[in-house]
Amino acid sequence: MSNLVRYRAMESLCRQNAVFRPLESWRLLAEAEMWHHKAQEEMAFRPGQCADVPFAGAAQTAPNAADESLLLAS
């Protein structure tokens, strides 16, 4: 399980570095893809145990319209 978390963290880190290092982005994105495949292999190896492990680079959910109207009213 800790391997899966590590693989996803490395994938996220590579993708983030690719944004800030455009000359190396091709290499960093290839490395991120490698970590992604390692994570998929880990999940396939341990079915059912990895369902609750979040992706390290997962986007946060956007607030709904009611939350935005409350922010604007303040």
Q: What is the pLDDT of residues 32-74, one digit of tens each?
A: 999 999 999 999 887 666 555 555 555 444 455 555 554 555 4
Sequence-ordered list of residues with C-beta below 8 angstroms from that of 52, at least 6 positions apart, any chain: none
31 in a structural domain = yes
User: Coil, strand, or helix at residue 50?
Assistant: coil
CA distance 48 to 18: 32
Residue at token pair 């959910």:
61
64 in a structural domain = no
43 in a structural domain = yes
pLDDT at 46: 78
15 in a structural domain = yes
20 in a structural domain = yes
Within 1-74, where are the H helices?
2-20, 25-45, 65-73
Q: CB-side exposure of 35: number of CA atoms within 13 Å?
A: 22
25 in a structural domain = yes
CA distance 9 to 67: 30
59 in a structural domain = no
Number of domains in the chain: 1
Structural domain boundaries enclosing 15: 1-51
pTM of the model: 0.62
71 in a structural domain = no
